[in-house]
Structure 1
């Protein structure tokens, strides 16, 4: 997660996730989102267009960070997750506590 993948807008912060979120990359994932929770943005949008994989470790941290954001009056939104990630969100019930949206620009 490098700084060029993070854009701060007035009401939202957009974070582009790329590659895989797993036990090997979880530190960077957590750090980048925790930094954004400390901002004034009311929404933290995780653009998952280029995210190919997320394991249970990533899912656990995602829930943890969602709870921290909620405590700060913020919302985490996942945008454009791939079918395999959507399935994991659905099976675990995370899709009930984190909004999932599709960016109409990316739809065919």
Structure 2
């Protein structure tokens, strides 16, 4: 898992990942835990039963990782907004993403802290 600052070129980052053979999905975070979880749900097309909590996030991401073919990169953009408003929630989501990155070698996680 890598954490990048606000100076990153998102389009360039995506182009590099695609060139390296990864499917890329960008999740634009929100200023609240609920908004950020909703962004993950919408962007990654989580099932209706998604519970809007960290355990459900971990379950859905794990399922997607196991079912994905090839390399996959999740980019959580605008993570700083949640970090400012709810540091505990931001740390929780980061922990879920770090575990996903460690457990599934075909999954790459990038957090953009802006």
Q: TM-score range by the shorter chain?
A: 0.3 to 0.5
Q: TM-score, normalised by structure 1?
A: 0.42
Q: Which has the higher helix share?
A: 2
Q: More strand by proportion, 1 or 2? A: 1
* Structure with more contact order per residue of length (Cα contacts < 8 Å, sep ≥ 6): 2
Query: TM-score, with normalisation over the residues of structure 2?
Result: 0.41
